[in-house]
Amino acid sequence: MFKKEITRPLVFIMLTAALTALSACNVINPTPTATPTPTEIPATPTPTQPPLAAEVNGEGIWLQDYQAELQRFKKAASDTGKQYDDQQASKMVLDDLVANTLLAQTAVKDGYKADETALQNRIDELTQQAGGSDAWVTWLKDNFYSESSLRQALSRSLAAAWERNHLIEAVPQTTEMVHARQILVRTDTTATAAIEELQAGGDFETLAKKYDDLTAGDLGWFARGSLYIPEVEKAAFELQPGQYSSIIQSAYGYHIVQVLEHDPQHPLTTDARLALQHKLLEAWMADALKNAQINILVK
């Protein structure tokens, strides 16, 4: 009870004092003071994203990078005397950018880690090759690069190269191979005559030399997927040493194939391994393109 009696007069006195002060203010300055308008703080502008030439699995390829790459492509083509129309040039540049982006994306998934030291070392090497800092600035300008765009292009290139090497390591040093030779003629009539002669006991090598006196039709050793004529390759792997095929028609003519040797683990020659690696990369890229989300934004 005592607490309430003290509190109420105090509140009354405070309110009275406040009202008296307000009245005094009105007497001294009867003109009401305008309420200041709050200063508006401008909103922070949202950064504008540079335009894109394409998107690959959600990753953008900047339009300016594509345009610079197109300029470099046309310059290189002109320097080598090759000519491409604008549509061809654009497609080739976009295909290359998309392919390298897919390889770089896969590299990260496969464990690739960007090495800034290696990247800087590469830039330093290029600077030295150009002839020093001043010459390097000129080289960048002449080749439509800025420092940042070159760094980005090299970074993607290093990742793509890492993934290519990672993929081709799957090609073994040895594989199943056959050693074969062929009789190749232009017409089915000649082919029929040749096979009839073989069936009558004729010697394959002698007959092959009749139509190819330089190599006697020797195809050498080859692995699956490495021969330039798939019909001949397929037939060769179905034969045993000493056997020869029936007549095989291809875009090159009419073939009769004889297998000389068959080795399940034959060492690959450098050229044969390169051919298999190239074929593997082609197959990988076809599959990657088929499964990727690609949006081309330029015509």
> What pLDDT sits at residue 271?
85
pLDDT for position 199: 96
Residue 144, pLDDT score: 95
Would you say residue 2 has pLDDT above 80? no
Distant-in-sequence, close-in-space partners of 229: CB < 8 Å, separation ≥ 6:
250, 252, 255
Share of residues in the chain with pLDDT > 70 (%): 84
Q: Residue 42: what pLDDT? A: 56
The pLDDT, as a whole number, for residue 49 is: 76
- pLDDT in the model for residue 136: 95
pLDDT in tens, 14-40: 333 333 333 334 333 444 444 455 555
What CATH topology corresponds to 174-267? Chitinase A; domain 3 (3.10.50)
Report the alpha-carbon distance of residue 36 to residue 58 in Å, rounded: 49
- Which is more confident, 13 or 276? 276
Q: Where are the domains of the chain?
A: 52-169, 174-267
Which of the pair, 49 or 62, is modelled with greater confidence?
A: 62
For 130-184, the DSSP string reads HTSHHHHHHHHHHTT--HHHHHHHHHHHHHHHHHHHHHHTTS-SEEEEEEEEEEE
Q: How, if at all, do strands 253-267 and 294-296 pair?
A: unpaired
Residue with tokens 């009749």: 210
pLDDT at 27: 36
Tens of pLDDT, residue by residue over 98-126, are: 999 999 999 999 999 999 999 999 999 99
Question: Can you tell me the mean pLDDT for 58-77?
Answer: 96
Encode pLDDT of 148-166 as tens digits. Answer: 999 999 999 999 999 999 9
**Amino acid 26: pLDDT:** 38
- The CATH architecture one would assign to domain 52-169 is Orthogonal Bundle (1.10)
Whole-number pLDDT of residue 189: 96
> In the predicted model, what is the mean pLDDT of residues 173-187?
96
Sign of the Cα torsion 232, 237, 239, 243 reads positive
Q: What is the mean pLDDT of residues 165-184?
A: 95
Segment 84-109 shows an average pLDDT of 96
Return the pLDDT at 192: 97
What does the pLDDT read at residue 212? Answer: 92
The residue with greater pLDDT, 99 or 12, is 99
Q: What is the pLDDT of residues 212-230, one digit of tens each?
A: 989 999 999 999 988 889 9
For position 47, what pLDDT does the model report? 62
Averaged confidence pLDDT in the chain: 86
